[in-house]
DNA sequence: AAGACGAAAGTGGTTGA
DNA sequence: TCAACAACTTTCGTCTT
């Protein structure tokens, strides 16, 4: 799948980003006159926070030719050589930048494996950069900080990924990512919306291949459940999964509890318990 | 054979002294 | 810092379809 607005080519099956920073060929914005069009068209790819210098540094061509294709004079060649050398030296200036490059590589890998949208990934990069600037990164494993930044960005943008999912794909523990998540939020004063069951509905229903009818029914159920106050303190994924389970039965697209619990990343027992609470407290008619 | 159920013991995180 | 606690998991035996 080629997504020009995101500048990416991704695999349709697994969501792996294959090619990034394609140049966006479209103009910047709508234009109404030719003059306008000239003004608003742009050159180069959009700013990209996922490259350590935001993709803005100059690249010097390695060919010893000038713009018109003529060969350089020996003197110009030496000059060009020096320029390139300095270019390299300044581009990756110091250890810090080198670490940033490593961190971004890791972040890109993680985000790709978890199919996290580009904008959220960039949010994570910004969080990571800020954390490093504030000196929070001392003495902490880079992978943990990257994972924590990504998790934080997901939570901030309401793109729900569970701690488990992120921990599984990165080489760090859920515990560490969690504690660093809290730390990042506290130190950097990021406001995090509480993750709600509704946030998980679309992803779960997608995985279970449920129709739109089931989805809207599930959302209704969630609202009723919330009013009844039976959702407080319960794991949101479990609640979302159960709502889909019940909606599936009601709309004649039944899925087994086992499937539901697998997708919802909770056990069958939890789905069962939530199910009982739903049926007891809401007026739900389950046909045998 | 697969799915669902209930009971009981175990686990990790939160809370309040 | 520690114990109490609720929510959730794991495990296992049993019943139903």
The CATH number covering residue A239 comes to: 1.10.472.10
Cβ(A48)–Cβ(A7) below 8 Å = yes
Q: Nearest residue to B14, CA vs C1'?
A: A233
A111 and A180 fall within a common domain = yes
The residue with tokens 């697994």 is: A14
Q: What is the mean pLDDT of chain A?
A: 77
A114 and A153 fall within a common domain = yes
Residue A50 has pLDDT above 90, yes or no: no
The token pair that represents A32 in the structure block: 């109404």
Protein residues with Cβ atoms closer than 7 angstroms to any atom of nucleic acid strand B: A 174-175, 178, 256-258, 268-269, 272, 275-276
A40 and A108 fall within a common domain = no
Residue numbers in A 227-286, CB below 7 Å of strand C? 232-235, 238, 265-270, 273-274
Q: Nearest residue to C6, CA vs C1'?
A: A233
Whole-model pTM: value is 0.70
Tell me if A50 is assigned to some domain: no
Element (H, E) at A279: helix A268-281
A183 and A203 fall within a common domain = no
A182 and A211 fall within a common domain = no
Q: Nearest residue to C8, CA vs C1'?
A: A270
In the predicted model, what is the mean pLDDT of residues A159-170?
85
Cβ(A129)–Cβ(A101) below 8 Å = no
Tell me if A119 is assigned to some domain: yes
| Domain end marker among A188, A221, A237 | A188
Tell me if A83 is assigned to some domain: no
Beta-bridge partner residues of A19 = A9
Q: Helices H, strands E: what count in chain A?
A: 12, 3
**CA–C1' A272–B7 (A):** 14
Tell me if A171 is assigned to some domain: yes
**CA–C1' A195–C13 (A):** 37
SS3 of A47-71: the string is CCCCCCCCCCCCCCCCCCECCCCCE
Cβ(A225)–Cβ(A272) below 8 Å = no
A226 and A176 fall within a common domain = no
In the predicted model, what is the mean pLDDT of residues A242-246?
93
Using C1' positions and the CA of A232, the closest nucleotide is C7
Sequence-distant (6+) residues with CB within 8 A of A54 are A47, A48
| Domain end marker among A188, A206, A229 | A188
- Other CB atoms closer than 10 Å to residue A165's CB: what's the count? 16
From the centroid of its chain, how far is CA A141? 21
Residue A246 banded pLDDT, cuts 50, 70, 90: very high
**CA–C1' A272–B5 (A):** 9
The residue with tokens 């099956």 is: A13
Q: How many domains does chain A have?
A: 3
A169 and A107 fall within a common domain = yes
First vs last C-alpha separation in chain A: 43
A210 and A178 fall within a common domain = no
How far is Cα A192 from Cα A127, in angstroms, rounded to an integer? 13
Residue A62 or residue A223, greater confidence: A223
| Domain end marker among A13, A28, A44 | A44
Using C1' positions and the CA of A270, the closest nucleotide is C8
Tell me if A217 is assigned to some domain: yes
In terms of Cβ atoms closer than 10 Å to its own Cβ (0-12, 13-18, 19+), residue A149 is buried
pLDDT tens, residue by residue, A106-156: 999 999 998 899 999 999 999 999 998 888 888 788 888 999 999 999 988
Q: What is the pLDDT of residue A137?
A: 83
- Residue A252 sits in which domain range? 198-281
Tell me if A229 is assigned to some domain: yes
- Other CB atoms closer than 10 Å to residue A60's CB: what's the count? 13
In the predicted model, what is the mean pLDDT of residues A68-95?
66
Tell me if A267 is assigned to some domain: yes
How far is Cα A233 from Cα A243, in angstroms, rounded to an integer? 16
The radius of gyration of chain A's CA atoms, rounded to the nearest angstrom, is 25
pLDDT tens, residue by residue, A173-209: 888 888 888 888 888 888 888 888 998 998 899 889 9
- Other CB atoms closer than 10 Å to residue A191's CB: what's the count? 6
A102 and A22 fall within a common domain = no
Q: What is residue A173's DSSP assignment?
A: -
| CB burial readout A85-101, b (16+ within 10 A) else e | eeeeeeeeeeeeeeebe
**CA–C1' A241–B5 (A):** 19
Q: What is the pLDDT of residue A70?
A: 66
Q: What is the pLDDT of residue A149?
A: 92
Tell me if A117 is assigned to some domain: yes
**CA–C1' A241–B17 (A):** 37
């Amino acid at each position: 799948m080629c997504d020009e607005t995101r500048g990416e080519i991704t695999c349709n099956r697994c969501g792996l980003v294959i090619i990034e920073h394609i140049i966006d060929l479209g103009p910047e914005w709508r234009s109404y006159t030719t003059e306008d069009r000239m003004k608003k068209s742009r050159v180069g790819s959009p700013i990209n926070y996922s490259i350590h210098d935001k993709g803005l540094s100059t690249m010097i061509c390695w060919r010893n030719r000038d713009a018109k294709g003529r060969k350089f004079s020996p003197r110009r060649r030496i000059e060009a050589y020096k320029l390139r050398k300095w270019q390299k030296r300044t581009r990756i200036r110091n250890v810090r930048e080198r670490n940033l490059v490593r961190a971004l590589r890791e972040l890109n890998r993680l985000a790709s494996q978890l199919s996290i949208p580009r904008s959220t990934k960039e949010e994570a990069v910004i969080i990571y950069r800020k954390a490093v600037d504030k000196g929070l990164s001392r003495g902490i494993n880079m992978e943990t900080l990257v994972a924590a930044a990504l998790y934080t960005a997901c939570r901030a943008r309401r793109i729900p990924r569970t701690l488990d999912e992120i921990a599984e794909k990165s080489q760090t523990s859920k515990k560490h990512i969690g504690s660093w998540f809290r730390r990042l939020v506290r130190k950097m004063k990021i406001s995090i919306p509480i993750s709600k069951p509704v946030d998980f509905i679309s992803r779960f229903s997608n995985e279970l291949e449920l129709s739109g009818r089931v989805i809207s029914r599930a959302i209704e159920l969630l609202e009723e459940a919330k009013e009844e106050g039976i959702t407080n303190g319960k794991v949101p994924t479990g609640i979302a999964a159960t709502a889909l389970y019940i909606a599936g039965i009601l709309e004649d697209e039944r899925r087994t509890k086992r499937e539901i619990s697998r997708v919802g990343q909770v056990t069958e027992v939890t789905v069962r318990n939530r199910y009982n609470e739903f049926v007891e407290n809401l007026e739900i008619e389950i046909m045998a």
